[in-house]
Amino acid sequence: MGISELSIRLLFLFLPGIIATIIIDSLTDHNERKSTDFFVYSFILGAVSYLLIGVLTIFIKNETWKMNFLECIYDVNQKISAIEVGIGCVSGIIIALLVSYCINNKLLHRFARKYGISRRFGEMDVWGYIFNSKDIEWVLLRDYDKDLMYEGWIGAFSSTVKEGELFLRDVIVYSAYTGTSGRRFRKHPDTKPEVSGHFAG
């Protein structure tokens, strides 16, 4: 059996893990990963997807269908079941959504902080930790070089401080030194905001 044929076989078998990894990467913020990380995560998530199917088959008795995932890995002559891979893909999608929910809501880090296991907050930097907080709704930014101060509600923000982008709505512009109020930029319902911008810090 050639290496290329083996690669295609493994790729097909671990398709659920590949799909799950792509979904998680799309729905969560994370540091740039190496290609080896992608393969490891795909392998683990794929194995978990089939493990979930195996657990379900214990409770669901079906004499016409038998799971043969492990046999396909050890026996190159074993035929891969397209139905099993398809069900594995569905299982992988469900697992990916659950994992994404846990990551985005920092469930593991919240549990660890609650019981003193760790003090890490789960974000890539303090920027994300602050702006993802439900307690932070508006900000006050000062640009002393231009003698401008911006006060507004947070509409959107970049994932990390590296980009440092902010979109503010209902902005009031003041003088940074005197505090004198200037122009107000307000976002009206059903209309585009009069101004949009970003803060690079």
Q: Which DSSP string do the residues of 100-126 spell out, in sequence order?
A: HHHHHTTHHHHHHHHTTS----SSSSH
State mean pLDDT over 74-79: 73
**Beta-carbon contacts of residue 104 (< 8 Å; ≥ 6 apart):** 27, 28
Complete edge-to-edge strand list for the sheet that includes strand 148-157:
138-143, 148-157, 166-174, 181-185
pTM of the model: 0.70
Kindly report, residue by residue over 130-180, the tens digit of the pLDDT: 777 777 788 888 888 888 888 888 888 777 666 677 888 888 888 877 777
Structure tokens at 17: 């893990």
| Average pLDDT estimate for 88-96 | 95
Domain with CATH 2.30.30 in the chain: 126-185
Round to whole Å and give the CA distance between 39 and 11.
10
**Percent of the chain at pLDDT above 70?**
78
> Which pLDDT value is given to residue 82?
81
What pLDDT does residue 192 have? 37
CB 103 within 8 A of CB 111: no
What is the b/e burial string over 169-193, where b = at least 16 CB atoms within 10 angstroms of the residue's CB? bebbbbebeeeeeeeebebeeeeeb
Yes or no: domain 126-185 corresponds to CATH 1.10.3470: no
How many Cβ atoms are within 10 Å of 134's Cβ, its own excluded? 5
- DSSP H or E segment with residue 181: strand 181-185
Q: Provide the mean pLDDT of the chain.
A: 78
Q: Is the pLDDT of residue 194 over 70?
A: no
Which residues in 84-115 are b (16+ Cβ under 10 Å) and which e? Answer: bbebbbebbeebbeebbeebeebeebeebeee
